[in-house]
Structure 1
Amino acid sequence: MATSHAAPLRTSDQAVWNRVLMLHAHVERELTHALQRQHGIGLSEYRSLEHLHHSDKSELRMQDLADKVGLGQSSVTRLVGRLETAGFAYKDLCPSDKRGVYAVITDEGRKRYQAARATYMEVLSSTLNTFTGDPQLGPTVQALRAAQG
Protein backbone atom coordinates (compact mmCIF):
# COMPACT_ATOMS: atom_id res chain seq x y z
CA MET A 1 0.00 0.00 0.00
CA ALA A 2 1.52 3.27 -1.07
CA THR A 3 1.35 6.18 1.33
CA SER A 4 1.59 9.78 0.42
CA HIS A 5 3.43 12.21 2.67
CA ALA A 6 3.08 15.90 2.14
CA ALA A 7 6.39 17.63 1.69
CA PRO A 8 7.35 19.54 4.83
CA LEU A 9 6.87 23.28 4.65
CA ARG A 10 10.03 25.14 3.92
CA THR A 11 11.18 27.00 7.00
CA SER A 12 10.70 30.34 5.24
CA ASP A 13 7.13 29.40 4.20
CA GLN A 14 6.29 28.50 7.76
CA ALA A 15 7.81 31.74 9.07
CA VAL A 16 5.83 33.81 6.55
CA TRP A 17 2.64 31.94 7.34
CA ASN A 18 3.17 32.46 11.09
CA ARG A 19 3.57 36.21 10.50
CA VAL A 20 0.36 36.30 8.43
CA LEU A 21 -1.49 34.46 11.21
CA MET A 22 -0.10 36.79 13.87
CA LEU A 23 -1.09 39.87 11.87
CA HIS A 24 -4.52 38.36 11.19
CA ALA A 25 -5.09 37.73 14.92
CA HIS A 26 -4.15 41.31 15.84
CA VAL A 27 -6.35 42.85 13.14
CA GLU A 28 -9.33 40.57 13.88
CA ARG A 29 -9.11 41.39 17.61
CA GLU A 30 -9.13 45.16 16.94
CA LEU A 31 -12.01 44.88 14.46
CA THR A 32 -14.01 42.71 16.85
CA HIS A 33 -13.59 45.14 19.75
CA ALA A 34 -14.43 48.23 17.67
CA LEU A 35 -17.52 46.74 16.01
CA GLN A 36 -18.86 45.39 19.28
CA ARG A 37 -18.16 48.57 21.22
CA GLN A 38 -19.42 51.05 18.62
CA HIS A 39 -22.14 49.12 16.78
CA GLY A 40 -23.15 46.20 18.98
CA ILE A 41 -22.32 43.57 16.36
CA GLY A 42 -19.63 40.95 16.07
CA LEU A 43 -17.22 40.52 13.20
CA SER A 44 -19.13 37.57 11.72
CA GLU A 45 -22.36 39.57 11.87
CA TYR A 46 -20.66 42.48 10.12
CA ARG A 47 -19.25 40.24 7.40
CA SER A 48 -22.62 38.56 6.92
CA LEU A 49 -24.35 41.91 6.54
CA GLU A 50 -21.64 42.95 4.08
CA HIS A 51 -22.16 39.87 1.90
CA LEU A 52 -25.93 40.22 2.03
CA HIS A 53 -25.71 43.94 1.25
CA HIS A 54 -23.56 43.30 -1.82
CA SER A 55 -25.48 40.27 -3.10
CA ASP A 56 -27.60 40.65 -6.23
CA LYS A 57 -30.99 40.36 -4.54
CA SER A 58 -29.99 41.27 -0.97
CA GLU A 59 -30.14 37.57 -0.13
CA LEU A 60 -27.94 34.51 -0.09
CA ARG A 61 -28.59 30.82 0.42
CA MET A 62 -27.58 29.94 3.97
CA GLN A 63 -24.87 27.57 2.67
CA ASP A 64 -23.44 30.27 0.40
CA LEU A 65 -23.37 32.72 3.30
CA ALA A 66 -21.68 30.09 5.47
CA ASP A 67 -19.01 29.60 2.79
CA LYS A 68 -18.42 33.34 2.39
CA VAL A 69 -18.12 33.96 6.12
CA GLY A 70 -16.14 30.78 6.79
CA LEU A 71 -18.62 29.11 9.11
CA GLY A 72 -20.30 25.73 9.25
CA GLN A 73 -24.00 25.27 8.60
CA SER A 74 -25.06 25.20 12.25
CA SER A 75 -22.92 28.23 13.10
CA VAL A 76 -24.36 30.31 10.26
CA THR A 77 -27.87 29.28 11.32
CA ARG A 78 -27.18 30.64 14.82
CA LEU A 79 -25.57 33.78 13.35
CA VAL A 80 -28.57 34.51 11.11
CA GLY A 81 -30.79 33.85 14.13
CA ARG A 82 -28.94 36.61 16.00
CA LEU A 83 -29.30 38.93 12.99
CA GLU A 84 -32.99 38.08 12.83
CA THR A 85 -33.48 38.82 16.55
CA ALA A 86 -31.76 42.20 16.05
CA GLY A 87 -33.96 42.97 13.03
CA PHE A 88 -31.03 43.04 10.58
CA ALA A 89 -32.00 39.99 8.50
CA TYR A 90 -34.62 37.28 8.17
CA LYS A 91 -34.83 33.76 6.81
CA ASP A 92 -36.91 33.04 3.73
CA LEU A 93 -37.75 29.81 1.92
CA CYS A 94 -36.79 29.41 -1.72
CA PRO A 95 -40.06 29.46 -3.72
CA SER A 96 -38.86 26.79 -6.18
CA ASP A 97 -37.17 24.54 -3.59
CA LYS A 98 -38.82 24.56 -0.17
CA ARG A 99 -35.69 22.98 1.32
CA GLY A 100 -33.59 26.00 0.32
CA VAL A 101 -33.36 28.67 2.99
CA TYR A 102 -32.12 32.17 2.29
CA ALA A 103 -30.84 34.90 4.57
CA VAL A 104 -32.21 38.29 3.52
CA ILE A 105 -30.92 41.66 4.75
CA THR A 106 -33.49 44.17 6.06
CA ASP A 107 -33.43 47.96 5.74
CA GLU A 108 -32.30 48.10 9.38
CA GLY A 109 -29.50 45.65 8.54
CA ARG A 110 -28.39 47.86 5.65
CA LYS A 111 -28.30 50.87 7.98
CA ARG A 112 -26.26 48.99 10.59
CA TYR A 113 -23.86 47.73 7.90
CA GLN A 114 -23.39 51.24 6.47
CA ALA A 115 -22.73 52.69 9.93
CA ALA A 116 -20.33 49.89 10.85
CA ARG A 117 -18.51 49.95 7.51
CA ALA A 118 -16.77 53.25 8.25
CA THR A 119 -15.57 51.91 11.61
CA TYR A 120 -14.40 48.67 10.00
CA MET A 121 -12.41 50.48 7.31
CA GLU A 122 -10.91 52.97 9.76
CA VAL A 123 -9.86 50.32 12.28
CA LEU A 124 -8.51 48.03 9.55
CA SER A 125 -6.31 50.77 8.07
CA SER A 126 -5.26 52.07 11.47
CA THR A 127 -4.29 48.62 12.74
CA LEU A 128 -2.35 47.78 9.59
CA ASN A 129 -0.61 51.17 9.79
CA THR A 130 0.36 50.44 13.39
CA PHE A 131 2.21 47.32 12.27
CA THR A 132 4.01 48.83 9.25
CA GLY A 133 6.83 49.93 11.55
CA ASP A 134 7.05 46.58 13.33
CA PRO A 135 10.26 44.79 12.26
CA GLN A 136 8.54 41.40 12.25
CA LEU A 137 5.11 42.28 10.81
CA GLY A 138 5.88 45.41 8.76
CA PRO A 139 7.16 43.50 5.72
CA THR A 140 4.02 41.32 5.80
CA VAL A 141 1.76 44.40 5.81
CA GLN A 142 3.75 45.90 2.95
CA ALA A 143 3.56 42.67 0.95
CA LEU A 144 -0.20 42.42 1.46
CA ARG A 145 -0.72 46.02 0.42
CA ALA A 146 1.54 45.59 -2.62
CA ALA A 147 -0.52 42.55 -3.66
CA GLN A 148 -3.60 44.74 -4.06
CA GLY A 149 -2.27 45.46 -7.47
Structure 2
Amino acid sequence: MIDEQAWDRMLVLHARVEQELAKALQRRHGVGLSEYRALARLAHGPRGGLRMQELAEAVGLNQSSVSRMCARLEDAGLTIRDLCEEDRRGVYSMITPAGRTRFTETQPTYRAVLQAALDKAAGDPELLQAVTAVRGATS
Protein backbone atom coordinates (compact mmCIF):
# COMPACT_ATOMS: atom_id res chain seq x y z
CA MET A 1 0.00 0.00 0.00
CA ILE A 2 2.83 2.42 0.85
CA ASP A 3 4.52 1.75 -2.48
CA GLU A 4 1.26 2.30 -4.31
CA GLN A 5 0.64 5.64 -2.58
CA ALA A 6 4.21 6.81 -3.22
CA TRP A 7 3.92 5.78 -6.87
CA ASP A 8 0.60 7.62 -7.22
CA ARG A 9 2.20 10.79 -5.83
CA MET A 10 5.11 10.41 -8.24
CA LEU A 11 2.68 10.09 -11.15
CA VAL A 12 0.82 13.23 -10.07
CA LEU A 13 4.13 15.09 -9.83
CA HIS A 14 5.17 13.79 -13.24
CA ALA A 15 1.91 14.84 -14.86
CA ARG A 16 2.03 18.35 -13.38
CA VAL A 17 5.65 18.94 -14.37
CA GLU A 18 5.21 17.51 -17.86
CA GLN A 19 2.18 19.73 -18.44
CA GLU A 20 4.09 22.86 -17.40
CA LEU A 21 7.09 21.95 -19.56
CA ALA A 22 4.95 21.15 -22.59
CA LYS A 23 2.97 24.40 -22.36
CA ALA A 24 6.06 26.57 -21.94
CA LEU A 25 8.06 24.96 -24.75
CA GLN A 26 5.15 25.12 -27.17
CA ARG A 27 4.16 28.66 -26.26
CA ARG A 28 7.66 30.17 -26.17
CA HIS A 29 9.47 28.15 -28.83
CA GLY A 30 6.92 26.23 -30.90
CA VAL A 31 8.52 22.94 -29.88
CA GLY A 32 6.76 19.98 -28.30
CA LEU A 33 8.19 18.29 -25.21
CA SER A 34 9.10 15.09 -27.06
CA GLU A 35 10.70 17.16 -29.81
CA TYR A 36 12.78 19.05 -27.24
CA ARG A 37 13.89 15.78 -25.68
CA ALA A 38 14.78 14.36 -29.08
CA LEU A 39 16.88 17.43 -29.91
CA ALA A 40 18.60 17.13 -26.53
CA ARG A 41 19.44 13.47 -27.10
CA LEU A 42 20.67 14.14 -30.62
CA ALA A 43 22.73 17.16 -29.55
CA HIS A 44 24.50 14.98 -26.99
CA GLY A 45 24.61 11.83 -29.10
CA PRO A 46 27.65 10.51 -30.89
CA ARG A 47 28.29 12.59 -34.01
CA GLY A 48 25.00 14.42 -33.42
CA GLY A 49 22.77 11.50 -34.20
CA LEU A 50 21.15 8.28 -33.06
CA ARG A 51 19.58 5.31 -34.77
CA MET A 52 15.82 5.74 -34.87
CA GLN A 53 15.34 2.81 -32.47
CA GLU A 54 17.83 4.31 -29.99
CA LEU A 55 16.08 7.66 -30.21
CA ALA A 56 12.70 6.01 -29.63
CA GLU A 57 14.01 4.33 -26.48
CA ALA A 58 15.73 7.52 -25.29
CA VAL A 59 12.59 9.63 -25.46
CA GLY A 60 10.09 6.93 -24.48
CA LEU A 61 8.18 6.70 -27.75
CA ASN A 62 7.28 3.75 -29.93
CA GLN A 63 8.81 3.40 -33.40
CA SER A 64 5.77 4.83 -35.19
CA SER A 65 5.56 7.89 -32.94
CA VAL A 66 9.27 8.63 -33.20
CA SER A 67 9.05 8.39 -37.00
CA ARG A 68 6.25 10.99 -37.07
CA MET A 69 8.13 13.22 -34.64
CA CYS A 70 11.30 12.99 -36.73
CA ALA A 71 9.31 13.88 -39.84
CA ARG A 72 8.12 17.06 -38.06
CA LEU A 73 11.67 17.89 -36.99
CA GLU A 74 12.90 17.30 -40.55
CA ASP A 75 10.16 19.49 -42.00
CA ALA A 76 11.29 22.25 -39.64
CA GLY A 77 14.91 21.79 -40.75
CA LEU A 78 16.03 20.70 -37.28
CA THR A 79 17.09 17.15 -38.19
CA ILE A 80 17.88 15.03 -41.22
CA ARG A 81 17.76 11.28 -41.80
CA ASP A 82 20.90 9.43 -42.74
CA LEU A 83 21.53 5.80 -43.64
CA CYS A 84 23.83 3.75 -41.46
CA GLU A 85 27.12 3.14 -43.29
CA GLU A 86 27.59 -0.35 -41.77
CA ASP A 87 23.99 -1.48 -42.20
CA ARG A 88 22.01 0.17 -44.98
CA ARG A 89 18.78 -0.84 -43.24
CA GLY A 90 19.61 1.31 -40.22
CA VAL A 91 18.37 4.89 -40.30
CA TYR A 92 19.83 7.66 -38.17
CA SER A 93 18.27 10.93 -37.14
CA MET A 94 20.94 13.64 -37.20
CA ILE A 95 20.65 17.10 -35.67
CA THR A 96 21.29 20.02 -38.02
CA PRO A 97 22.95 23.33 -37.12
CA ALA A 98 19.44 24.84 -36.95
CA GLY A 99 18.44 22.03 -34.59
CA ARG A 100 21.41 22.75 -32.34
CA THR A 101 20.45 26.43 -32.30
CA ARG A 102 16.83 25.61 -31.42
CA PHE A 103 17.96 23.27 -28.65
CA THR A 104 20.30 25.93 -27.25
CA GLU A 105 17.48 28.49 -27.32
CA THR A 106 14.97 26.19 -25.62
CA GLN A 107 17.19 24.66 -22.95
CA PRO A 108 17.05 27.65 -20.55
CA THR A 109 13.23 27.62 -20.74
CA TYR A 110 13.13 23.88 -20.03
CA ARG A 111 15.45 24.23 -17.04
CA ALA A 112 13.69 27.27 -15.57
CA VAL A 113 10.20 25.79 -15.95
CA LEU A 114 11.34 22.45 -14.53
CA GLN A 115 12.78 24.16 -11.46
CA ALA A 116 9.70 26.35 -11.01
CA ALA A 117 7.32 23.41 -11.41
CA LEU A 118 9.24 21.34 -8.85
CA ASP A 119 9.39 24.31 -6.47
CA LYS A 120 5.63 24.77 -6.80
CA ALA A 121 4.96 21.06 -6.28
CA ALA A 122 7.21 21.05 -3.18
CA GLY A 123 4.68 23.44 -1.61
CA ASP A 124 2.08 20.67 -1.73
CA PRO A 125 2.55 18.43 1.35
CA GLU A 126 1.30 15.44 -0.65
CA LEU A 127 4.06 15.90 -3.24
CA LEU A 128 6.96 17.12 -1.12
CA GLN A 129 8.42 13.63 -0.63
CA ALA A 130 8.24 12.90 -4.37
CA VAL A 131 9.96 16.22 -5.19
CA THR A 132 12.63 15.48 -2.60
CA ALA A 133 13.18 12.04 -4.15
CA VAL A 134 13.52 13.52 -7.65
CA ARG A 135 15.90 16.23 -6.55
CA GLY A 136 17.90 13.80 -4.41
CA ALA A 137 18.33 11.50 -7.38
CA THR A 138 19.96 14.28 -9.37
CA SER A 139 22.41 15.43 -6.69
TM bin, normalised by shorter chain, reads: over 0.9
Cα deviation, residue 143, structure 1: 2.1
Give 5+ residue unaligned stretches, structure 1: 1-10
Deviations 1:76-95 (A, max 9, x none): 11010000000000111112
Give, as a single letter, the amino acid of the residue that structure 2 aligns with 1:128.
L
Q: 2:53 aligns with which of 63, 85, 105?
A: 63
The 3-state SS of whatever aligns with 2:94 is: strand
Residue 132 of structure 1: CA displacement? Answer: 1.1
**Greater radius of gyration (CA):** 1
Counterpart residue number, 1:38: 28
Select 1:27's aligned residue among 9, 17, 38.
Answer: 17
Match of 2:138 in 1: 148
TM-score by length of 1: 0.91
For residues 10-37 of structure 1, give each alpha carbon's deviation from its aligned partner in whole angstroms, at most 9, with x where no partner exists.
Answer: x000000000000000000000000000
Matched, 1:111 2:101: yes
Matches of 1:65 and 1:21 in 2, distance apart? 23
- Whole-angstrom CA distance in 1 between matches of 2:136 and 2:70: 35
* Greater relative contact order, per chain length (Cα 8 Å cut-off, separation 6+): 2
TM norm structure 2: 0.97
Do structure 1's residue 129 and structure 2's residue 119 form an aligned pair?
yes
CA deviations 1:64-111 (Å, max 9, x no partner) are: 000001111111110100000000001111122110000000000000
The structure in which a higher percent of residues are helix is 2
What amino acid is aligned across from residue 54 of structure 2 in structure 1?
D
2: CA distance, partners of 1:131 / 1:66: 29
Aligned residue for 1:57, secondary structure, equals helix
Aligned residues between the structures: 139
Runs (4+) of structure 1 moved beyond 4 Å? none
Runs (5+) with no aligned partner, structure 2: none
Residue type of the alignment partner of 2:86: S
Letter in 2 for 1:84: E
